[in-house]
Amino acid sequence: MKLAVPGGPHLTYCTNIHPGETWAEVRANLERHVLRVKVAVAPTQPFGVGLRLSAVAAATLAQPAELERFQAFLRDSGCYVFTINGFPYGPFHGTRVKEEVYLPDWLDDARLSYSDRLAELLAALLPDEPGLEGTVSTVPGAYKGRVRGGADEGRMAELMIRHAAGLHRLRERTGKMVSLALEPEPCCHMETVDETVRFFEGHLFAAPAVAAFDRLTGLGRAESEAALRRHLGVCFDACHMAVEFEDAAAGFAALARAGIRVGKVQVSAGLRVRMDPGDRALVDALRPFAEGVYLHQVVERRDGRLVRYLDLPEALEAAARDGGGPREWRIHFHVPLFREELGPFASTQDYLRGVLGLLRREAHTPHLEVETYTWDVLPEAYRREDIAAAVARELRWVLDQLGVRP
């Protein structure tokens, strides 16, 4: 949906909430769930789709006949695709994902090939509407432990610059503007705004990067820098930034000062727990969230200091070892946006309200995407609602915060 707020961003939800790795499964989810959400939220206007495609699904959709059938489906159903979640390459539901979600990362040519394919698909799916661009969100380089120094940073930048050159050629060939949006996440090479700015300024927008892009495209130095800034940007995930205790206004301002585009804001909320490890009942109530599919990174703030844990079980074990002392945990576990509380815990909904307040006043991004992919692993008490009804409720909550109606 295109919204009547500054910049007229497009709002959708990410279909990674629906299990499905093959194109047949993804297409069935669109028919089963997305069309129901459209009827509930935007029955009389075009409805945007935030598409998630695994590498396997993307390969199938790239077949011309399949792509034509999908284009016809979008036209007939009043839907359109403007963004793709290109973060998880492989299976994303029903099996252990954890740190494997980042693989292949931007150290691997397979990530480049996958991203190139997604961009081609998005260009084919984008409507011919003036000013409408496409975004593909992706992993923030790599899991932190995979990057061992400057050579690895250079390798990641090299692949991203090659991808950006492909996006430039795609624009020249099709007239469609597609950008890559790197998504900072806890425990990744880019997890904070400061780390993200450093990587962009030191590796993607610096003189050697501009020269490399110029060699690939022949654009000249000035236009090469402009094209890099046009095609490479950031996906600002509100849950991730809340977990990192980032100040949202300061984060947007820092990105703007560095000339880094925010291609997409993922509208998401995590868990917030004010605790004392001596409160065994509270600690035990957290254990159902320590499930075995996804990473649930924890950032702890105590006495003005931040401590990071790769996963919730690790944080729970540390709390049991070090005993008492009040602290606040922010947990990377996406929860429904409309839930301010989950039993004894709060969500980071207040942080998200602040982000949406900023977006209501100023155009920071062209794309907004609700992303609550952990629906299937939420404790059962918090997901009894029909999934399409819950997604529609999330979208209406966002619209309320932005002060608009579809």
Nearest to 196 by CA among 166, 237, 164, 230: 237
Peptide bond into 104 cis (omega under 30): yes
Rounded Cα gap, residues 311 and 21, in angstroms: 25
Going by their DSSP bridges, the two strands 178-182 and 305-309 should be labelled as: unpaired
Q: Is residue 166 part of a domain?
A: yes
Say if CB 382 and CB 335 are below 8 A apart: yes
Per-residue model confidence (pLDDT) at position 166: 98
299 near 311, Cβ under 8 Å? Answer: no
In this prediction the pTM is 0.96
Inside any domain, residue 330: no
The pLDDT tens digits of the residues spanning 161-204 come to 999 999 999 999 999 999 999 999 999 999 999 999 999 999 99
In a domain, 300, yes or no: no
Supply the CATH number for residue 370's domain.
Answer: 3.20.20.150
Query: Could you report the per-residue pLDDT of 9-62, keeping only the tens digit for each?
Result: 999 999 999 999 999 999 999 999 999 999 999 999 999 999 999 999 999 999
Q: What is the pLDDT of residue 277?
A: 76
Q: Look at the chain and report how many structural domains it folds into.
A: 1
- How crowded is residue 109: how many other Cβ atoms within 10 Å of its Cβ? 11
Q: Does residue 290 lie within any of the structural domains? A: no
List residues bridging with 369 in a β-sheet: 12, 266
Rounded CA-CA distance 371/327 in Å is 27
User: Quick one: pLDDT at residue 406?
Assistant: 62
Strand order in the sheet with 345-347: 305-309, 298-302, 327-335, 269-275, 345-347, 341-342
Which residues lie below 8 Å from residue 33, measured CB to CB, with a gap of 6+?
Answer: 15, 18, 387, 388, 391
> Could you identify the residue written with the tokens 């492909």?
166
Distance CA 327, CA 304 (A): 10
Q: Is residue 325 part of a domain?
A: no
Residue 355 belongs to some domain of the structure: yes
What domain range is 351 assigned to? 10-270+346-402
Asked if the structure places residue 218 within a domain, the reply is yes
Treating both helix axes as pointing N-terminal to C-terminal, what angle do 207-217 and 150-174 enclose, rounded to 10 degrees?
A: 40
Residue 301 belongs to some domain of the structure: no
Residues of the chain with pLDDT under 50: none
Instruction: Identify the CA nearest to 268 among candidates 152, 391, 163, 382.
Output: 391
- The encoded tokens of residue 157 equal 């930048």
User: What's the DSSP call for residue 78?
Assistant: T
